[in-house]
């Protein structure tokens, strides 16, 4: 339907950074050349920003591709990988493709159940994926609990902390990347996944990155195709990274949007769940699939959580002010229809 609004994929609704657009425009006349395979400028800028070495940075065609690299590099048939349910579904998909075995730990009260994840570890476990903030709940793990958990995981297992939404989270929710990458004597190595698809507004360019110890990075470099990051993505991401004003504005607007949306949905008799990301869960206290379909007829696309086993939940991404208002108006109408009023 033309004129639809999409609040389903946790994208940045305010368009890309103008600096990224300018950088891409001025690169267009170089399209006849292959991209820089080493991604020199972007890798160095990311390393500087994170306070790590360039050899500790790996780029992917979206952070999605780095999940694939990790599984390709470290998971053989019958090896075990631990994930949570619900969480980002691609972890399990890539493991299945490689013939690995997924152990899926149900979340407890919308949070990763770190105690049970620890208990699931066996001598066949290779990777543990933890999205923090979690998609779809938007919850984070308290840093003190995360440090404790990591110190309990054996050195032979890599813990992947997927921080696709960390740029939206409160500062006190963030963990110290440098010390977790460098000081891993006696405990598991940690890989951080990040993306330009969310707060940095470049989902269409497909660019993500990961930070990790250089020994792990060199394993991933072996499975990384040489030109996986196109030239537009390299220059666009570099410019977006330097656009603090865009990032700060995105953050402020997202927080304002979350506040507005959660207040309004509560006013409509739904329950909203607090989130550290740019989306949140709503218990609509009715059939989520029916509500999803009803919203769809009004040109409003959200995500029904029924496929995750949450029959009465939808996940909604913060949109522009106008989109948020339209969502609330449509939600009120759809709820009235479904409640038979």
Binding footprint of ligand PLP on the chain (CB under 6 A): 10, 62-64, 88, 131, 135, 162, 164, 195, 197, 203, 208
Q: Cα–Cα distance between 57 and 216 in angstroms, integer?
A: 10
- Cβ 201 to ligand PLP, closest distance in Å? 11
Q: Smaller CB distance to ligand PLP: residue 164 or 181?
A: 164
Residues 6 or more apart whose CB falls under 8 angstroms from that of 256 comprise none
Residues 6 or more apart whose CB falls under 8 angstroms from that of 32 comprise none
Q: Smaller CB distance to ligand PLP: residue 207 or 284?
A: 207
Q: What is the dihedral of CA 248, 254, 257, 262, to 10 degrees?
A: -130
Asked if residue 202 lies in contact with residue 233, where contact means CB atoms within 8 angstroms, the answer is yes
- Cβ 84 to ligand PLP, closest distance in Å? 11
Evaluate the CA torsion angle 114, 141, 174, 309 in order and state its sign: positive
Q: Cα–Cα distance between 50 and 181 in angstroms, integer?
A: 11
Across the chain, how many H-helices and E-strands are there?
Answer: 12, 13
- Length of the chain as a residue count: 341
Q: Smaller CB distance to ligand PLP: residue 68 or 80?
A: 68
Residues 6 or more apart whose CB falls under 8 angstroms from that of 55 comprise 214, 217, 218
The structure tokens listed for 191 are: 């890989």
Q: Smaller CB distance to ligand PLP: residue 110 or 268?
A: 110
Please identify the residue of the shown chain whose CB is closest to the bound ligand PLP.
62
Q: Cα–Cα distance between 127 and 80 in angstroms, integer?
A: 7
Taking residue 259's Cβ as centre, other Cβ atoms within 10 Å add up to 11
Q: Smaller CB distance to ligand PLP: residue 65 or 264?
A: 65
The structure tokens listed for 45 are: 């800028």
**Nearest CA to 14 among 317, 330, 328?**
317
Q: Smaller CB distance to ligand PLP: residue 116 or 203?
A: 203
- Cβ 43 to ligand PLP, closest distance in Å? 16
Taking residue 153's Cβ as centre, other Cβ atoms within 10 Å add up to 21
- Cβ 24 to ligand PLP, closest distance in Å? 17
- Cβ 25 to ligand PLP, closest distance in Å? 22
- Cβ 149 to ligand PLP, closest distance in Å? 18
Taking residue 77's Cβ as centre, other Cβ atoms within 10 Å add up to 8
The structure tokens listed for 87 are: 């969480």
- Cβ 133 to ligand PLP, closest distance in Å? 8
Q: Smaller CB distance to ligand PLP: residue 203 or 338?
A: 203
- Cβ 167 to ligand PLP, closest distance in Å? 12
Q: Smaller CB distance to ligand PLP: residue 56 or 167?
A: 167
- Cβ 86 to ligand PLP, closest distance in Å? 11
130 pairs with which residues across the strands? 161
Q: Cα–Cα distance between 191 and 214 in angstroms, integer?
A: 11
Q: Smaller CB distance to ligand PLP: residue 70 or 328?
A: 70
């Amino acid at each position: 339907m033309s004129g639809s609004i999409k609040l389903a994929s946790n994208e940045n609704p305010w368009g890309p950074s103008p600096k990224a657009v300018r950088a891409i425009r001025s690169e267009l006349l170089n399209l006849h050349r292959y991209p820089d395979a080493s991604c020199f400028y972007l890798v160095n800028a990311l390393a500087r920003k994170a306070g790590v070495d360039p050899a500790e940075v790996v780029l992917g065609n979206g952070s999605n591709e780095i999940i694939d690299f990790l599984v390709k590099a470290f998971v053989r048939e019958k090896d075990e990988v631990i994930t949570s349910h619900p969480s980002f579904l691609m972890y399990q998909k890539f493991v299945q493709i490689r013939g690995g075995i997924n152990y899926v730990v149900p979340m407890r009260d919308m949070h990763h159940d770190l105690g049970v994840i620890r208990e699931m570890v066996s001598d066949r476990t290779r990777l543990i994926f933890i999205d923090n903030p979690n998609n779809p709940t938007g919850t984070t793990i308290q840093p003190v609990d995360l440090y404790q958990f990591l110190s309990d995981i054996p050195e032979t297992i890599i813990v992947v902390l997927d921080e696709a939404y960390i740029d939206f989270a409160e500062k006190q929710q963030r963990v110290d990347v440098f010390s977790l990458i460098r000081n891993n004597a006696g405990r598991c190595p940690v890989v951080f996944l990040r993306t330009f698809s969310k707060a940095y507004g470049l989902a269409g360019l497909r660019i993500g990155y990961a930070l990790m110890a250089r020994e792990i990075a060199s394993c991933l470099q072996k499975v990384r195709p040489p030109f996986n990051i196109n030239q537009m993505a390299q220059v666009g991401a570099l410019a977006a990274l330097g656009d603090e004003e865009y990032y700060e504005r995105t953050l402020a607007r997202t927080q304002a949007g979350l506040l507005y949306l959660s207040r309004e949905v509560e006013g409509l008799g739904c329950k909203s769940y607090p989130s550290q990301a740019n989306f949140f869960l709503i218990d609509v206290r009715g059939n989520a699939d029916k509500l999803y379909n009803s919203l769809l007829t009004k040109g409003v696309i959200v995500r029904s959580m029924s496929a995750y086993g949450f029959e009465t939940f939808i996940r909604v991404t913060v949109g522009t002010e106008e989109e948020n208002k339209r969502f609330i108006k449509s939600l009120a109408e759809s709820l009235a229809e479904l409640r038979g009023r």
